Copies of this chain bind each other. A is one copy, B any other.
Amino acid sequence: MCEANAYIVKDEREELVMESVDTVEPEEDRKSFRLVSIFGEQKIIRGRIRLMNLVDHKILFEKNE
């Protein structure tokens, strides 16, 4: 499976938000994203995308300025 793990970067530390993320979709406000895992779990994360490395299965978010 090709899901990824989502992290929020705080003070240059990566904090796991959700494992096995399948879907990433911006919310209407454009200041947060809806994450859905392959298990159907959902989470809204406030922030913006900092970096995605799909081969490393990583999506990094950071706080909006």
Contacts and interface: CB of A to CB of B under 8 A. Distances in A.
Interface of A: 1-4, 21-26, 30, 38, 48-55, 57
B57 A2 contact: yes
A58 B27 CA distance: 18
Specify how many copies of this chain sit in the oligomer: 2
A51 B24 contact: yes
Contacts of A55: 1-3, 22, 38
A55 B55 CA distance: 13
B2 A24 contact: no
Contact of A54 (B3, B30, B49, B51): B3
A26 B1 CA distance: 25
